[in-house]
C-alpha cells in the first residue's frame, strides 16, 4: 500500500503504517494510506512562520505572482495523471474531474495574472487618502499589510484540487505561508499536486506545508495573527468557532460552508426558461454527483407551473447514465466514498417520510457499476404538500438530491427562500429584465452570489465558482468570503489607517 507523506519543516515525513485508508468508491479497493499522528505541529508551524513567512514577504507581489505562474507550468503537463487519480479516488467522470483539476489550475493562473498588476512591494493602498486638516497638511491613508502568521487551509473532500488552489493562490500571493490540510477521503490528488510543486522547488523553504491525515491538535499550536480558511459542513465550522483561539479572536477564521442553494423560476417565465432551468437542475445533480457546496437544493416555481417544471426536470434527469466513470458512456460517477453513500442513504430515508419523489433514480435507473459501489442516481422531490415545512429548507443531502417548492406570490417566494438561512448562490430564470430586476434586491441580502439566466444567453453555470466573483455567503453559508478578484487577498492582510503629514503619505504611496 502506498503511504502518503506529509511535508513540514522542509522535509517529507512518510508514516510507517496507515491510520486511515483511501478506497476506490466504485470498486472498494484500497488506494493509499494516511497517518499524521506523529507530526510535530508546533515545530512545523514555527518553521512556516519564521522561515517561510519572511522569505515570501521579502518578495514583491509581482514576484510572488511569478511563483504562482511557475506552479501552473508544473501542474499542466501532469494533468493526465491527476485525472487518473481523481477517477480512482473520487469516482468522478472526466468532465467532473476537469471541473476540479482544470478549475484549480485556472484559478491559480488567474491569480498569477492579477498579481502581476499589483505595484506594491510591501503593502497595498486601500483607496485614496483623505484630508484631516483644513489646509490639507495632515491626512489619513488606509493600507493593507500581509499578516505575519501562517494560513491553515482546511479543505473539503469534494474538490481536492480546486479547493486547495483557490485558497493557496490568494494566501501565497499575499505573502502568507500555508499549511494545507486536505480532507482525508480524497487526499491523494491534493498530495500528488502539491508534491509536484514542492519537488520543483519553486517557492521559498517553509512557504508550503502539507498535513496528510488527521493529526492531534491541528488548531492547538496556532498563535495570534495566524489564520484559518475552512471549507466544509456548517456543523464542523461551528466546532472550529468554539476553539479557544478562534473564540477569543486571536486566530481569524474564514468559513465557507454548506448551504441550501436555490434555483428560482420567475413568475410568468416562458417555456424556454423552464427548459433552461431543467437543464441546469440536471447539470447540478449530475456534476460531482451533487457533491458541491453550491449545488441546487431547492427549486422554487410558481404553483401553477409546478407540474410543467416537474415534467421537464424528470425528462432531463432521465438522460443521465450513472456508473463506473471509466466507461465512456457513463455521465455521472459515484459519491466520494462508501461512508458518504451511507450517510446520504440515511438522509434520503428521512426525506421519504414527508416528501414525495417525482423522479426516483433509485427505482428508475440501472446503475452500471459492480456490487458495493458508492453510486447514487438522482432523486427529485416535491414539497407541494408542505412548502413551509422547516425541514425542506434546513436539510441538505450532499448528493444528487433536490426538492421542488411551489410559491404563489413574490412575497411568499422571498419568505421561503429566507428559510434557508443564507446561501452561497441562487440562480434566477427570467425572460426579461423586468422579471428579474425586482427580485435582485430581495434576494441579494440572502446570498453571496446571484446567477441570472435568460433564454439563449451565455452563462457560466449555477454551481461553477469563478475567481472573478465572490465565493461565500451569509448565515448558514458561513459568513465568509473567498475569491471575488483581488478581494480574496483581504483576509490575508491587516487593514490599518495611517495618519500622517500629507507629504509623508505621498512618499508612502510612492514606495509601497
Which pLDDT score is estimated for 457?
A: 84
Listed range (54-63, 167-176, 433-442) with the worst mean pLDDT: 433-442
Is residue 431 classed as helix, strand or coil in its secondary structure? Answer: coil
Q: Is residue 402 part of a domain?
A: yes
**DSSP H helices in 287-389:** 306-317, 338-351, 361-364
Identify whether residues 198 and 240 lie together within a single domain. yes
Any idea what the Cα angle at residue 427 is, between residues 163 and 329, rounded to 5°?
65
Which pLDDT score is estimated for 370?
A: 87
Catalytic one of 166, 266, 284, 293: 293
Identify whether residues 452 and 492 lie together within a single domain. no
Which pLDDT score is estimated for 122?
A: 81
Note the Cα 450 to chain centre separation in Å: 16
* CATH at residue 146: 3.40.605.10
Q: Is residue 472 part of a domain?
A: no
Q: Is residue 240 part of a domain?
A: yes
pLDDT tens, position by position, 384-410: 999 999 999 999 999 999 999 999 999
Q: For residue 269, what is its C-alpha cell?
A: 417565465
Go through 231-270 and write b for each residue having 16 or more CB atoms within 10 A of its CB, e for each that does not: bbbbebbeebeebebbeeeebbbbbbbbbbbbbbbbbebb
Mean pLDDT score of the chain: 94
Which pLDDT score is estimated for 512?
A: 61
- Sign of the dihedral through C-alpha 452, 455, 456, 462: positive
Enclosing H/E stretch for 192: helix 187-199
Q: Is residue 113 part of a domain?
A: yes
Which pLDDT score is estimated for 434?
A: 87
Identify whether residues 308 and 424 lie together within a single domain. yes
Identify whether residues 303 and 379 lie together within a single domain. yes
Other Cβ atoms less than 10 A from the Cβ of 271: the count is 12
Is residue 413 classed as helix, strand or coil in its secondary structure? Answer: helix
Question: Rounded distance, CA 39 to CA 347, Å?
Answer: 36
Q: pLDDT over 90 for what percent of the chain?
A: 89
Identify whether residues 270 and 253 lie together within a single domain. no
- Residue 293 falls in the annotated catalytic set: yes
Identify whether residues 134 and 277 lie together within a single domain. no
The count of domains in the chain is 2
φ, ψ dihedrals at 351, nearest 5°: -60, -35
Q: Is residue 474 part of a domain?
A: no
Catalytic one of 9, 256, 284, 482: 256
pLDDT at 120 over 80: no
**Mean pLDDT of the region 133-154:** 94
Identify whether residues 388 and 490 lie together within a single domain. no
pLDDT at 433 over 90: no
Identify whether residues 70 and 108 lie together within a single domain. yes
Q: Is residue 323 part of a domain?
A: yes
Identify whether residues 348 and 248 lie together within a single domain. no
pLDDT tens, position by position, 189-248: 999 999 999 999 999 999 999 999 999 899 999 999 999 999 999 899 999 999 999 999
pLDDT at 511 over 70: no
Identify whether residues 249 and 277 lie together within a single domain. no
Q: For residue 272, what is its C-alpha cell?
A: 424556454
- If pLDDT is split at 50, 70 and 90, which confidence band does 455 have? confident
Q: What is the pTM of this model?
A: 0.94
- Residue 369, domain extent: 261-467
- Residue 454 falls in the annotated catalytic set: no
Identify whether residues 384 and 493 lie together within a single domain. no
Q: Partners of 428 in the beta sheet? A: 264, 452
CB 209 within 8 A of CB 48: yes
Residue closest to 252 by CA, chosen among 224, 221, 227: 227
Identify whether residues 290 and 387 lie together within a single domain. yes
Question: Rounded distance, CA 476 to CA 424, Å?
Answer: 9
Q: Partners of 498 in the beta sheet? A: 141
Question: Rounded distance, CA 167 to CA 396, Å?
Answer: 24
Q: Is residue 476 part of a domain?
A: no
Which pLDDT score is estimated for 408?
A: 96
pLDDT tens, position by position, 275-310: 999 999 999 999 999 999 999 999 999 999 999 999
Listed range (315-319, 491-495, 505-509) with the worst mean pLDDT: 505-509
Which pLDDT score is estimated for 351?
A: 96
pLDDT tens, position by position, 342-378: 999 999 999 999 999 999 999 988 888 888 899 999 9
Residue closest to 200 by CA, chosen among 38, 379, 76: 76
φ, ψ dihedrals at 353, nearest 5°: -75, -15
Measured between its terminal Cα atoms, the distance across the chain in Å is 51
Question: Rounded distance, CA 136 to CA 321, Å?
Answer: 69
Q: Is residue 473 part of a domain?
A: no
Which pLDDT score is estimated for 507?
A: 86
According to DSSP, the β-strands at 447-453 and 296-302 are unpaired
φ, ψ dihedrals at 344, nearest 5°: -65, -40
**Mean pLDDT of the region 308-326:** 96
pLDDT at 143 over 80: yes
Amino acid at each position: 500500500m502506498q503511504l502518503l507523506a506529509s511535508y513540514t519543516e522542509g522535509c517529507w515525513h512518510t508514516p510507517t503504517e496507515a491510520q486511515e485508508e483511501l478506497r476506490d468508491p466504485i470498486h472498494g479497493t484500497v488506494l493509499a494510506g494516511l497517518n499524521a499522528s506523529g507530526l510535530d505541529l508546533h515545530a512545523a508551524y514555527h518553521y512556516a512562520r519564521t522561515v517561510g513567512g519572511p522569505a515570501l514577504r521579502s518578495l514583491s507581489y509581482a514576484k510572488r505572482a511569478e511563483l504562482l505562474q511557475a506552479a501552473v507550468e508544473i501542474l499542466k503537463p501532469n494533468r493526465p495523471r491527476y485525472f487518473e487519480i481523481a477517477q480512482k479516488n473520487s469516482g468522478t467522470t472526466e468532465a467532473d474531474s476537469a471541473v476540479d483539476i482544470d478549475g484549480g489550475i485556472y484559478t491559480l493562473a488567474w491569480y498569477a495574472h492579477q498579481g502581476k498588476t499589483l505595484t506594491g512591494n510591501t503593502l497595498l493602498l486601500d483607496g485614496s487618502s483623505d484630508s484631516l486638516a483644513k489646509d490639507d497638511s495632515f491626512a489619513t491613508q488606509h493600507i493593507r499589510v500581509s499578516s505575519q502568521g501562517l494560513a491553515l487551509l482546511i479543505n473539503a473532500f469534494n474538490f481536492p484540487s480546486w479547493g486547495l488552489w483557490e485558497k493557496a493562490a490568494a494566501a501565497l500571493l499575499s505573502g502568507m505561508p500555508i499549511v494545507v490540510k486536505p480532507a482525508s477521503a480524497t487526499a491523494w490528488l491534493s498530495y500528488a499536486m502539491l508534491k509536484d510543486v514542492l519537488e520543483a522547488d519553486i517557492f521559498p523553504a517553509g512557504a508550503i506545508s502539507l498535513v496528510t491525515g488527521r493529526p492531534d491538535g491541528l488548531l492547538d499550536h496556532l498563535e495570534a495573527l495566524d489564520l484559518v480558511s475552512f471549507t466544509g459542513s456548517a456543523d464542523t465550522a461551528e466546532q472550529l468557532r468554539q476553539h479557544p483561539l478562534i473564540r477569543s479572536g486571536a486566530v481569524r477564521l474564514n468559513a465557507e460552508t454548506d448551504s441550501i442553494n436555490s434555483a428560482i423560476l420567475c413568475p410568468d417565465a416562458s417555456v424556454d426558461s423552464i427548459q433552461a432551468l431543467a437543464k441546469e437542475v440536471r447539470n447540478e445533480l449530475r456534476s460531482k454527483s451533487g457533491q458541491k457546496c453550491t449545488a441546487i437544493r431547492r427549486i422554487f416555481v410558481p404553483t401553477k407551473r409546478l407540474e410543467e417544471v416537474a415534467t421537464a426536470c424528470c425528462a432531463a434527469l432521465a438522460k443521465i447514465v450513472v456508473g463506473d466513470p471509466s466507461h465512456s458512456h457513463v455521465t455521472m460517477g459515484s459519491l466520494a466514498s462508501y461512508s458518504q453513500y451511507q450517510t446520504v442513504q440515511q438522509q434520503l430515508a428521512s426525506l421519504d417520510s414527508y416528501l414525495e419523489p417525482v423522479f426516483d433514480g433509485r427505482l428508475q435507473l440501472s446503475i452500471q457499476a459492480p456490487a458495493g459501489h458508492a453510486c447514487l442516481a438522482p432523486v427529485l422531490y416535491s414539497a407541494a404538500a408542505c412548502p413551509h415545512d422547516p425541514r425542506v429548507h434546513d436539510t441538505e443531502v450532499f448528493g444528487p438530491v433536490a426538492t421542488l417548492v411551489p410559491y404563489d406570490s413574490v412575497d411568499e417566494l422571498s419568505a421561503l427562500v429566507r428559510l434557508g438561512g443564507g446561501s452561497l448562490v441562487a440562480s434566477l430564470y427570467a425572460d426579461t429584465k423586468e422579471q428579474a430586476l425586482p427580485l435582485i434586491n430581495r434576494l441579494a441580502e440572502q446570498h453571496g452570489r446571484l446567477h441570472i439566466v435568460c433564454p439563449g444567453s451565455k452563462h457560466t453555470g449555477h454551481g461553477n465558482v469563478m475567481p472573478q466573483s465572490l465565493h461565500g455567503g451569509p448565515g448558514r453559508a458561513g459568513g465568509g468570503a473567498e475569491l471575488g478578484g483581488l478581494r480574496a487577498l483581504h483576509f490575508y492582510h491587516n487593514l490599518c489607517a495611517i495618519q500622517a503629514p500629507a507629504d509623508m503619505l505621498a512618499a508612502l504611496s510612492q514606495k509601497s
